[in-house]
Amino acid sequence: MPTQLNQRHNANAIRILAMDAVQQANSGHPGAPMGMADIAEVLWREFLNHNPKNAKWPNRDRFVLSNGHGSMLIYALLHLTGYDLSIDDIKAFRQLHSKTAGHPEHGYADGIETTTGPLGQGIANAVGFALAEKTLAAQFNKADHAIIDHHTYAFLGDGCLMEGVSHEACSLAGTLGLGKLIAYYDDNGISIDGEVEGWFSDDTAKRFEAYGWQVLNVDGHDQDAIRKATIEAKAETTKPTLIICKTIIGLGSPNKQGKEDCHGAPLGMDEIGLTREAMGWADATPFAISDEIYQAWDATAKGADLEAAWNEQFAKYQAAYPTEAAELSRRLSGELPADFETVANDYIKACNDKGESIATRKASQNAIAALAPNLPEILGGSADLAGSNLTLWSGAKGVQDHADGNYVHYGVREFGMTAIANGVALHGGFIPYTATFLMFMEYARNAVRMSALMKQRVINVYTHDSIGLGEDGPTHQPVEQVASLRNTPNHFTWRPCDTVETAVAWKKALQTANAPTSLILSRQNLAFQARTDEQIASIEKGGYILASEQGDLQAIIIATGSEVELAMNAHKQLTEAGVGVRVVSMPCAEIFVKQSSDYIESVLPSAVRARVAVEAGIVDYWYKFVGLDGKIIGMTTFGESAPAKDLFQHFGITTEAVIDAVKSLI
């Protein structure tokens, strides 16, 4: 067993790299990496099962740095243990196109499991990792083969615990008994504004005990105590564990340790010199790490052995259970079943043949019921609104009662639900979907942004999509939310108008592997729209001609969701009046604008400037399609409390308003 002195010297390598990188960048947070270095040294050198030469090894332990402002901690760990992160990458901290960004960014460097920085979301992602591990293990492990068997470790700080999302996620983790989740709390008592006791006096231990966690307390600079606590945490398999580590922020800095001065600013060259001296660090050259320390940290040989042992185990599993092994490999690769396209297209055709006029939330439930039996990787859930979002289906099994289930009752935890789903997606083996009312997407907004930023396939089911939800009133009536989602990079927003468009939306969402999708669905019944095979095929392009003009094209009506019916009624009356008008249904504008210029021109000819958009949401988004000389029928205010029919009339979102707008333009 290594001596405390050697361990401290190894941990000091993290401190050296952190303070030097932050100093060179003249930007960053040295305090957290320096304060948590001893905890990291024990975890990464003695417990973490990982392979630096294959960061995607399926049965690796997951590590999450929830207090992501301390990013130099994970960068130092990745560099020291042998990942593809060179000393030049460390020197390029916070520079353009660097692997070592300002906060850990998933996809920038091997070994970064999730993007962290928005505090609290990292620990929520970790709950998702642990949930995915437990569920996947229950689905695939056999009595003689524990093929999925790993831990999730998370570091978090005061800020993570102050953010409400940590309550949502950690409460659920306790309820679900995620025993392979182990979190280390950097209890240093300092945030940006100074000593936190004036604004954060929670009894954290009692809080987590109330959640159903095991709680341990240690000196965060006593490696022996950290080791013993980690062993105890791993021994508890029915509860997640929080190890509260009392630490000193910026440990090693003679004049700044324990103060907010080292939280988010460089130490300064003079203080760095004093820190080196205090630590007994012989080499004063910035970024200098001895070969001896690199050898002590190198995890490549151990990692290769761990993966090789697992590969041997998997080969035995494959021989004994070839069907399960093939299915597990498929799911971990993120590939859909080979017959998915055929199954989905057959279902879309069946919807068109049936021609039901139902709410799109019901159409969504029907789509889940049709597609999910062929997609065992689906792991869905709703924020206490399953009966309204219609996300439950006949084959749904709650994970709270069935470890191998496929449905999560998230409770009223919109933000936590979505951040957990991000962790599930990042873990692999699942396609998560979440659900709530569209209005309460606002609670989950930053987690939706994070799934887009991280390019994760998370499907968000948002129902009660407009003033059409009626009597609940303006608090529940979303008007600006769809525009907000559409303006999010690398995110696709579908607002289908009937059963067929809803089925296509689900198909595309499931096929979109590198971006999240939000499905915007109605409470009220919507009229079925008859289509040709060519039109059905065009739905996937995001926008298409649903009703063509008679004679010369004079005007175009663009509509989505429930307002497509208004547009079609207007088309009928205008056509009878001799007006050459077409209706363009645009269920996904973000996909439409990615089509070829020829296709876009064929749907929205640039020469036709008489354009009207109609949608029961904020009007501003649609100017990009109708131009400043076009007209938009929609919302410019919040809603009111009344039955849906009265509201559409009150706000002027009617067939008559569309007809009048078209006539005024031609």
Cite the active site residues. 414
Q: Is 188 annotated as a binding residue?
A: yes
Length, in residues, of the chain: 666
Side-chain-facing half-sphere of 413: CA atoms under 13 Å:
23
Q: Which residue has the tokens 């059409």?
A: 468
Token digits of residue 206: 């009692």
Side-chain-facing half-sphere of 72: CA atoms under 13 Å:
35
Q: Is 569 annotated as a binding residue?
A: no
d(CA 264, CA 70): 9
The alpha carbon torsion through 165, 166, 171, 176 (nearest 10 deg) reads 100
Contacts 24+ apart (CB under 8 A), 596-603: 599/541, 603/543, 603/544, 603/545
Q: Is 103 annotated as a binding residue?
A: no
**What's the sign of the alpha-carbon dihedral 557, 562, 568, 573?**
negative
Token digits of residue 545: 């001609």
Q: Is 158 annotated as a binding residue?
A: yes
| Tally of CB atoms within 10 A around 607 | 6
Q: Which residue has the tokens 């095929």?
A: 537
Q: Is 528 annotated as a binding residue?
A: no
The helix-helix angle for 360-371 and 340-354 (nearest 10°) equals 140
CB 36 within 8 A of CB 186: yes
Nearest to 640 by CA among 441, 471, 442: 471
Q: Is 50 annotated as a binding residue?
A: no
Q: Is 119 annotated as a binding residue?
A: yes
| Tally of CB atoms within 10 A around 393 | 19
What is the distance in angstroms between the CA of the first residue and the CA of the last residue of the chain?
85
Q: Is 485 annotated as a binding residue?
A: no
d(CA 251, CA 248): 5
d(CA 473, CA 546): 32
Contacting residues for 279 by C-beta, under 8 A, at least 6 apart: 12, 15, 16, 252
Q: Is 263 annotated as a binding residue?
A: yes
Q: Is 394 annotated as a binding residue?
A: no
Q: Where are the beta strands (DSSP E) in 21-69?
A: 62-65
Q: Is 29 annotated as a binding residue?
A: yes
User: What residues are designated binding site?
Assistant: 29, 69, 117-119, 158-159, 188, 190, 263, 361, 388, 440, 464, 472, 476, 523
Binding residues for substrate: 29, 263, 361, 388, 464, 472, 476, 523
Binding residues for thiamine diphosphate: 69, 117-119, 159, 188, 263, 440
Which residue positions form the known binding site for Mg(2+)? 158, 188, 190
